[in-house]
Amino acid sequence: MATELVHFVNDQTFNEVVLKSPIPVLVDFWAPWCGPCKAIAPLIDKIAEENDGKVLVCKVNVDESAETAAKYGIRGIPTIILFKNGSVINQVTGAVPKSQLDAMIA
């Protein structure tokens, strides 16, 4: 199971883990009550597994980390954002197919 490859971050750890990462970071903004978030979760795990060491995969619970969600204008979930060198490189919202997520980090 890939879950140990997915890092859970919050308002307190986001800057250190995501923005200061030496490798690109794929961040899944989600909530436990969100059906599409649950649907996409196995795809996020798979991407973490396939890109271990090349891309850091993180999850941000928008209910617990409202400050970070607001900072990045998260209005719909799941929203997946790719960060590189602390900047937003790419972003998608909704339960998109894995091929679209793969294309984000290619």
Which of 9, 18, 26, 34 is flagged as catalytic?
A: 34
58 included as an active-site residue: no
Which of 5, 18, 37, 81 is flagged as catalytic?
A: 37
d(CA 94, CA 106): 19
* Order of strands, sheet of 6-9, starting from the edge strand that comes earlier in the sequence: 6-9, 56-61, 25-30, 79-84, 87-93
Active-site annotation, residues: 34, 37
